[in-house]
Structure 1
């Protein structure tokens, strides 16, 4: 038995089937239409793939920026905390020694500045106990008026009061040092808080 009855018959039948032949122009139009349809479908696929790729790249970039931001802030926080011993030695040792060594010089500079405005007026420098000799040695001998250096027990280390005629100024290096120490303490406190929040 043959299997011919299972297969489709493509032979031309003389009575009922029509064979439709296309001329060259119609065939070209059909090719162009098929090409245009394929081109449009390919273009749409490419645009869709590009949008998906752009979305993926954007998401990856956002994630990378977020990771970098976190890493940067973490690094800054850790660096700030590692600087705490240096800040402590700076505030407790270096700055006090620097202010102490420059105290007399600073007083004389202020006094000379005040004397320019009030020529010929008596000048007085009030200093803490034990600092008079150092300050007297720094006072220029060619000032226009006599200068007195007076030790005042009410003044603490790093403090002084200058008077030229009726004009007065106060110098408070210890207050400056306390202000700097407070700023460093606040900075370290904020760094510790930021480290605890992570």
Structure 2
């Protein structure tokens, strides 16, 4: 038996296999494909980075707006709570005094408006008991027609009826004040409810 099978055969070692030649056109085409693939990958990365940055900015902006909204509502609630006592004083003391002081002048303004075109009709003012003197003092304007001031014990202070011929108007300062008080109370209540329950 021979040992030839254990030894390497160098008999075919001299043969060189030809290298496949690549044409210039094929080489240019492969370069162009590589460039396009690289450009597309770079573009995709850029678009992805831009989308991530935009998403991050949007999330940050949304958080900032939410914080700002919360701060605004907190400040608004504190402001309303601090103004509530002032509203109470305004509707219980200042407005009633101011309305009482201008009651007669308001009547004169209404009568002047009602008397236009009614020069031959008497003007009749009916007020609550004890208010006739103040109304007469406010009637310092000379009307060309007769003005009668009467008191009615059933009328509340700040309430008056004005009549010129067939026209009649009611002035009710007390009802107006009550309406203002109710509006202020409802506003304060609503703000407190919104602050507590959102």
- State the TM-score bracket (shorter-chain normalisation): 0.7 to 0.9
Report the alpha carbon displacement of residue 38 of structure 1 after superposing the two structures with TM.
1.5
Match of 1:8 in 2: none
Match of 1:101 in 2: 101
Match of 1:77 in 2: 77
Structure 2: gaps (5+ residues): 1-12
Contact 1:99 1:173 (C-alpha < 8 Å) held by counterparts: yes
CA 1:62–1:14: 2 relative to 1, 3 Å: farther
Give structure 1 regions of 4+ aligned residues with deviation exceeding 6 angstroms.
none
Report the alpha carbon displacement of residue 158 of structure 1 after superposing the two structures with TM.
0.9
Structure 1: gaps (5+ residues): 1-12
1:19-42 alpha-carbon deviations (Å, 9 max, x no partner): 345455544433333222222222
1:51-99 alpha-carbon deviations (Å, 9 max, x no partner): 2222222223223223322322232222222210121111112211111
Contact 1:91 1:177 (C-alpha < 8 Å) held by counterparts: yes
Contact 1:120 1:144 (C-alpha < 8 Å) held by counterparts: no
Partners of 1:41 and 1:17 in 2: how far apart? 38
SS in 2 for 1:83: helix
**Structure 1 vs Structure 2 CA RMSD:** 2.2
Please give the TM-score of this superposition, normalised by the length of structure 2. 0.82
CA 1:102–1:141: 2 relative to 1, 3 Å: closer
Match of 2:145 in 1: 145
Match of 1:161 in 2: 161
Partners of 1:120 and 1:51 in 2: how far apart? 83
Contact 1:127 1:149 (C-alpha < 8 Å) held by counterparts: yes
Please give the TM-score of this superposition, normalised by the length of structure 1. 0.82
SS in 1 for 2:161: strand
CA 1:153–1:83: 2 relative to 1, 3 Å: same
Partners of 2:165 and 2:27 in 1: how far apart? 114
- Give the paired residue count: 186
